[in-house]
Amino acid sequence: MPKAKRLMSDICNNTDRKIRVLDLINTHQCARELLDNRVAQVNATGRYDNAIYCSSGEFVELLRKKGHTVYVVENPRNLSPIKMAVCIWKTTRLLRKHRFHIIHTHTSVPSLVGRLAGFLTRTPIVIHQVHGYHYHDNMNLILKWSIIIVEKFFALLTDKILFQNQADVEECLRRKIAPRRKLVLIGNGTQIDDFKTEKEVNNNPPIILYVARMEPVKNHTMLLEAACILKERNVAFKIQLAGDGELMPKYEAWVHEHGLDEHIAFLGYREDVPALIVNADVCVLVSLNEGLPRGIIEAAAGGRPMVATDVDGSRDVLVNGTTGFLVPLNDVTSLADRLEQLLSNAALRAHIGQEARKYALKHFDERVVTDRIIDVYDDMIVNEKSKADYLGPNG
C-alpha cells in the first residue's frame, strides 16, 4: 500500500482521528530540555498525539508525570554495528506496533536509526531536524566527507529537513545533501518566561558561566586556557561549568594541574539553568560549530552578555558588539581580552545584557518556533491526503 493511502486508512480507523507523531532524540536530558514544552504545545492543538522516544534516565518519569507518552529505547553513544543493529530492530518494532504517521528525528544516532526504521516500516512522513552538522573545517577530511556522504544518503529517506539557522541551509545546498524543496528554516527558541531578569547581579568575584556537555565539539579547552591568561593578569573571576560528559575527568585533572581549582567550579548536570544564567555576570560558548545554540539564546533571554566563538550558528544569533562579542575560533587571547573587558566593567555588562534581553523577546520565543513546526506537519498531512485522493480507491 502506498504511504499516502496507509496514512489515510490509519487516520480513518483512529477513533480520535489524531495524527500520531514520534520525536526521536538521544538522551532523557535532551528530551526534557528540547521537547517537553514543544511536544505539549503540539498536543494542545488537539490534532496531534505527539510522543517522545529517548534513552532511559531520571527525566523519563518526570516527563511521564507531566502527561507525556515516552518510549525508552537505548541509543548507543557510538556507531558500534551490533548496538546500532539492535537499536534499529527495537525502533522498527516500536514503529510497526504503534503505526506513527510522522516521525521527527533529532541528534546524530536517533536521526540515522529513526530514518532507516521509518523507511523499513513505510512510515508516511519522515522529518529530520538539524541541530548543526557534525562535521567542520578543522576535522580529518576523510571523516568529514564520510559524514557528508552519510547525510546525503539519509536525506533520500527524509521528506522534510528542518534547520535552525540559515548557514546550515546554505551548507546543505552547497554540499548537495538535499534539494531545496525538502528544506525548511524554523529557527530556535526558549521559554522566555522561565528567565526572571529583575535581579541585578554584581558578584565578587564576577561569575563566568558555560553551560554545555563536556564533549569535544564544545571545546572547553579554549575557555580553560583563557582562564590561565586571566589568572596571570590578576583578573578576579570565577568560572562555573554546568554539564556532564565524557571529558569531565580530563578537564578536572587539567584544572588541578594548572592551579585553577579556586577559579573553576564543576557543577555537573543542572536542571536550574535559567537560575544559573540570571545569577551569572557573563556567559560563554566556545564550540567548534553549532546549529542555533540554545546557550546564546538562553543567555540573551536571561539578560546576560555572551562571548562566543565566531562559528556557524553562533554568528546567526549573537549580534556582535550589541548582545555580546564574537571571537575567532581557538583565539584564546581574544577570548581572554573580551572576558576581561566585561568582567572589569559592570555598566557595560548591564547595557549589553539589556540589549540581549530585548533581542531575545523579539526573536527567540519557543512558541513561535513550535508554531512553525506545526505548520510543517499540517502542510505535510495535506500533501499526503492529496496524494491519497489522487491514487484513488484502488491505489
Average pLDDT over residues 278-305: 93
Residue ranges, comma separated, of all CATH 3.40.50.2000 domains in the chain are: 3-189+365-391, 193-363
Instruction: Indicate the SS3 state at residue 242.
Output: strand
For 193-363, the fitting CATH number among 3.40.50.2000, 1.10.1740.10, 3.40.50.10490, 3.40.50.920 is 3.40.50.2000
| CB 236, CB 267: distance < 8 Å | no
Q: Flag whether pLDDT at 85 surpasses 70.
A: yes
CA-CA distance, 8 to 389, in Å (whole number)?
Answer: 9
- The residue that leads in pLDDT, 197 or 312, is 312
Over residues 245-273, the pLDDT tens digits come to 999 999 999 999 999 999 999 999 998 99
Whether the Cβ atoms of residue 7 and residue 18 lie closer than 8 Å to each other: no
Report pLDDT for 237.
Answer: 98
Of 207-211, 239-243, 383-387, minimum mean pLDDT range: 383-387
pLDDT in tens, 365-381: 999 999 999 999 999 99
Residues 323 and 354: their CA atoms lie apart, in Å, by 8
Query: Of residues 198 and 372, which shows the higher confidence score?
Result: 372
Mean pLDDT within 378-393: 75
Higher pLDDT, 136 or 113: 113
How high is the pLDDT of residue 135?
80
- Return the pLDDT at 19: 95
| Strand 160-163, strand 125-130: pairing | parallel
Give the separation between CA 309 and CA 287, rounded to whole angstroms.
6
At residue 165's C-alpha, the angle toward residues 162 and 169, to 5°, is: 65
Cell numbers of 294, please?
Answer: 540554545
Q: What is the mean pLDDT of residues 194-222?
A: 89
**For residue 303, pLDDT beyond 90:** yes
pLDDT of residue 138: 73
Mean pLDDT of the chain: 92
The correct CATH number of 3-189+365-391 out of 3.40.50.1370, 3.40.50.2000, 3.20.20.210, 3.40.50.300 is: 3.40.50.2000
For the beta sheet containing 282-285, the strands, ordered from the edge strand earlier in sequence to the opposite edge, are: 264-268, 238-242, 207-211, 282-285, 306-309, 324-327
pTM of the model: 0.78
Q: What is the pLDDT of residues 277-288, one digit of tens each?
A: 999 999 999 999
Name which of 39-43, 199-203, 269-273 the model is least confident about.
199-203
pLDDT for 82: 93
* pLDDT band at 202; cut points 50, 70, 90: confident
Mean pLDDT of 152-161: 98
Q: What single DSSP character describes residue 365?
A: B
Mean pLDDT of 106-127: 96
Report the pLDDT value the prediction gives residue 6, as an integer from 0 to 100: 64
Reported confidence tier of residue 134, pLDDT bands at 50, 70, 90 = confident
Residue 391 has pLDDT above 60, yes or no: no
Query: In the prediction, which pLDDT does 14 show?
Result: 65
Q: How confident is the model at residue 181 (pLDDT cuts 50, 70, 90)?
A: very high
What pLDDT is attached to residue 34? 92
pLDDT of 253 reads: 98
What's the Rg (C-alpha) of the chain? Answer: 22
Greater model confidence, 232 or 363: 232
Assign 18 a pLDDT band (cuts: 50, 70, 90): very high
Question: pLDDT at residue 387 above 80?
Answer: no
